[in-house]
Structure 1
Amino acid sequence: MSFSLLLLLTGCLDDLQLTRRAFVMGIALDETEAGKVLLTTQVYVPSPKGEKKKGSKGYINVRTTGDTVAKAIRDIPIHLGRKTHWGHLRSIVISEKLARKKRMAEVLELFYRDHETRITSSVLISKGNAADYLKKEPWIETTMGQQILANEESTADFSNKTVKTNLLTLILQTRSQVGNSIIPRIYIEEEHEFPSMDVAGIVLLKKNKMIGYLPPGNIEGLQIIRNEYRGGMLQILPCQTQPEKIEVVEVLSSQTTLKPVIKDDSLNVQISNKMEVVLQELKCSRIDAPEKERKFVERLEQALKKELKETVSLLQEKQFDAIDLGNKVYAKNPTLWKRWKNNWDQRFADSNFEFDVKIRIINSGTTNGKPMFSE
């Protein structure tokens, strides 16, 4: 009986050995002058016993073309001598030209259907050719595919100047009732002595095509409204007597609720935010008394309200719902949404927004509630 049960065990005799696999870390998608897909695939190069030779790279880039992404992938073994494996794919960079011309679903269709692809692989839109970003040397990580992913995650979590978007979140946004998508923007900073590859700002996609982008300065407000803000530095409090000086607080927690209020055929939106902050840079204010602290908090709340209003106004100007308002209307009243859906962009632009901000200071960093170096 035991011997017969062995016949039911599965094996992997037909599977490829590691020496015949090429592990993909990142890809770039561009378009040739002839209208074909130009695929740049970054493959990890293993070294004996994990030792890397001095001056050698930990990766190589392979370029292929085809009428489709699938066809371009099938031609990689011609140059590499190995079959690509997609289980370690970190990032997908798509050129702005391709994002404006073709629907994102058409470009990424293969990666949703293939069983090897990571659904958590990040997706970014590049300024200029996407292949140029895989040609650069990684500053810290082993490959540029890993470096791009690290830049995106760190910028979203610590600098609050972009959002995190992967294959999963992108398809959820695209298949929602509104259908708008937001994707991180990647570009090369040439102004400094040592040009760097930066991930900041977001690209706006409507009906799967790029229509514009939102600058890095407005992403913090967007994160707060979307309740995706997990902490950061708010530098939005200029001194009243000395406008050139900026006072800074660190956000420890932020919670936002967005409530659509439907009355007759109009829409009012109530955005409420609660924050807990600690002082970081105090240039001119003094909070060594309850009354002074209350006035400081009021100024901070007004400054944050102004930032949130500017973010919403910019989105309304672009007629782009990036805060999931339409999806909340659908969840609240599906019947009404059927009437509003066709002209939702204009209705979003005409909606009235109300802001309620409550901030609490829980720590000043010292026992002194005044500037450390008072004049």
Structure 2
Amino acid sequence: MLMKRLFTIGILLILTGCWSSKELVEYGFIMGVSFDENENEEIEFYAQIYSPAETIGGTSGSETPFYTNINLEGKSVFETARDIPLHLGRKAQWSHMRVLLIGEDFAKAHNIGDVLEFFYRDHETRLMSYVIITNGKASDYWEMKPFIERTISQELRTILDNSTNFTGKSTKSKLLNVAINLSSKSKTTLIPYIKKATNDSLTPVATGAAVLQEGKMVNYVDPADLETLIMLNDEYKGGIINFPCMNNEIEHLKEALEVYSLETKLSPQLNQESLFINITTKINGSLGELQCSSVTTADELKNLEKHIAESIQADMNNVIRYLQENELDVLGIADKLYQQKPQLWKKHQADWGMLLAGSEVNLEVEVKVDSTGMAGGEKVVEE
């Protein structure tokens, strides 16, 4: 009998309970928030709250949306966030927040690190929420209807997830990443940028990234350059790289390489007053589309690999030159140098932008085509 009691007590100690559960009928679960500035220079704060509809037989009993949007204004994020119960009638629960939208004008005028301070301090907020810069007012995007997901907050998150993983033309930046990057030696970060598909469209599209330096938006990178920048940062997950015809025979045609793997290594060296940066990129992939090239022999394949590498290297050099001209350390070179030689970094910290602009970059790109396709069940390239 004693053993049974001890066993029961032991089971009770290790079993989880419901003491920390959050009921849908008691809380307002925040799915997304946005920040703009109103005419009075106050924070215009929108929150999208999950609103579960009653279901019958597993389907919604009405066409009522699964969310509601509320608008608040105030001098600080903390003030507006705490006022949510005045409008909603429920306490806000932040643990399920998917995205934070920040209007472009707001991001240019304010240090977003200060604005996001509330979420870093709040114990409910998960630092995995995505931060997004919007073209135009961020609040306009709450008017959009999701195509597949139940809320536009979740749809924006899946757009960034899949465009990053499968196209390489977008990126994703979590609350945690923003905090780390803005407190790094370079104080620079990339944040995904979205806009409406057309001027009067209610459809969002991920298109490039905003460059933030010391908390404020200072530049914009278009999707093509962002793809190259992601390669240089060794964060390329996969996608299609377009390259021109060999010898530019047909200017308007492009061929395509599907990337299986991409690895970039960056090594800075500071000697006296000169900065040298060595970058090597290795790419493996298969030919996805050929419109103007013939690949029937091993020599032709070798020449094509060289051509693709030269095309990618030219794009990388253009992006590096752009970063140097604008003194933008998006590649985290300052942090790498600080890890190697902290005292030397501190010596050049004040004039880091000028040092970066005058740096000498040695770039090498190697492309290996693992597959050229199949024709009639046989290899296209002759061994």
TM-score range, shorter chain: over 0.9
Secondary structure of residue in 2 paired with 1:342: coil
Residue 43 of structure 2, aligned match among 37, 40, 46: 37
Q: Does the C-alpha gap of structure 1 residues 80 and 259 become closer, same or farther in structure 2, counting only changes over 3 Å?
A: same
Q: Distance in 1 between matches of 2:380 and 2:314?
A: 26
Note if 1:300 corresponds to 2:311: no
1:120 to partner: Cα distance: 0.2
Q: Partner residue of 2:295?
A: 287
SS at match of 1:291: helix
Identity of aligned residues (%): 30
Cα drift, residue 202 of structure 1:
0.9
User: Partner residue of 2:239?
Assistant: 232
TM-score by length of 1: 0.92
Q: Quick one: distance in 2 between partners of 1:63 and 1:196?
A: 21
Query: 1:327-375: per-residue Cα shift (whole Å, max 9, x none)?
Result: 11111111110011111112111111111111111111213538xxxxx
Does residue 216 in structure 1 map to residue 227 in structure 2? no
The amino acid across from 1:260 in the alignment is P
Which one-letter code corresponds to 2:295 in the other structure?
I
Question: How far 1:264 moved relative to its partner?
Answer: 2.5
Map 1:144-183 to 2 at 5 A. 144-183=152-191
Where does residue 277 of structure 1 map in the other structure? 285
* Equivalent in the alignment of 2:323: 315
Length-normalised TM-score, structure 2: 0.90
Q: Name the counterpart of 1:77.
A: 85
Q: How does 1:339-358 map to 2 (within 5 A)?
A: 339-358=347-366
Structure 1 pair 294/16, CA: closer, same or farther in 2 (3 Å)? closer
> SS of the residue aligned with 1:273?
strand
Pair 19,296 (structure 1): closer, same or farther in 2 beyond 3 Å: same
User: Aligned to 1:132, which of 112, 137, 140?
Assistant: 140
Q: Which deviates the most, 155-164 or 104-113?
A: 155-164
The question of whether the paired residues in 1 share the 8 Å contact of 2:245 and 2:293 is answered with: no
Aligned residue number for residue 261 of structure 2: 253
- Alpha-carbon spacing, 1:284–1:4, altered in 2? closer, same or farther (3 Å): closer
What is the alpha-carbon distance in structure 1 between the residues aligned to residue 220 and residue 77 of structure 2?
25
Q: Report if the CA contact (8 A) 1:182-1:202 is conserved.
A: yes
Superimposed CA distance per residue, residues 48-71 of structure 1 (whole angstroms, 9 cap, x where no aligned partner): 246424432110101111111111
Q: Could you report, residue by residue, the CA deviation over 1:263-293 in whole angstroms, capped at 9, with x for unpaired residues?
A: 2321111110111110111112222112111
Number of matched pairs: 368
Deviation readout 1:86-115 (Å, 9 max, x if unpaired): 110000001112111211121111100111
SS at match of 1:63: strand
Contact 1:120–1:166 under 8 Å retained in 2: yes
Paired residues of 1:286 and 1:369 also in contact (CA < 8 A): no
2:236 partner SS: coil
Q: Does 1:198 align with 2:209?
A: no
Provide the C-alpha distance between the structure 2 equivalents of 1:14 and 1:362, rounded to a whole number of angstroms.
52
Matched, 1:21 2:32: no
2:194 is paired with a residue whose SS is strand
Contact (CA 8 Å) 1:258, 1:269: kept in 2 or not? Answer: yes
Aligned partners of 1:146 and 1:19: how far apart in 2?
Answer: 21
CA contact (8 A) 1:239 1:283 kept: no
User: What is the SS of the residue equivalent to 1:39?
Assistant: strand
Quote the Cα distance in structure 2 between the aligned partners of 1:273 and 1:48.
53
> Which one-letter code corresponds to 1:233 in the other structure?
I
Q: Name the aligned partner's letter for residue 180 of structure 1.
A: T
* Cα 1:16–1:106 shift into 2, 3 Å: same
Contact kept? 1:152, 1:199, Cα under 8 Å? yes
How many Å apart are 1:12 and its aligned residue? 7.0
Give me the whole-angstrom Cα distance separating, in 2, the residues matched to 1:273 and 1:210.
29
For residues 283 and 14 of structure 1, what CA distance do their matches in structure 2 show? 60
**Deviation at residue 4 of structure 1 after TM alignment:** 11
Distance 2:16 2:365 in 1: 59
Kept in 1, the 8 Å contact 2:145–2:202? The answer is no
- What secondary structure, in the 3-state scheme, does the structure 2 residue paired with 1:19 have? coil
Contact 1:239 1:245 in 2 (8 A): no
Amino acid at match of 2:111: R
| Alpha-carbon contact 1:319-1:345 (below 8 Å) kept | yes
Q: Which amino acid aligns with 1:247?
A: E
Instruction: Name the structure 2 match of 1:88.
Output: 96
What CA distance in whole angstroms lies between the structure 1 residues aligned with 2:16 and 2:39?
48
Distance 2:170 2:16 in 1: 45
Q: Residue type matched to 2:380 in 1?
A: G
Aligned to 1:373: none
Residue 13 of structure 1, CA deviation? 6.7
Q: CA RMSD in A?
A: 2.3
Q: Which amino acid aligns with 1:227?
A: D
* Contact 1:248/1:282 (<8 A) preserved: yes
Structure 1 residue 191: Cα displacement: 6.1
Once the two structures are overlaid, the 10-residue window that deviates more, 295-304 or 149-158, is 149-158
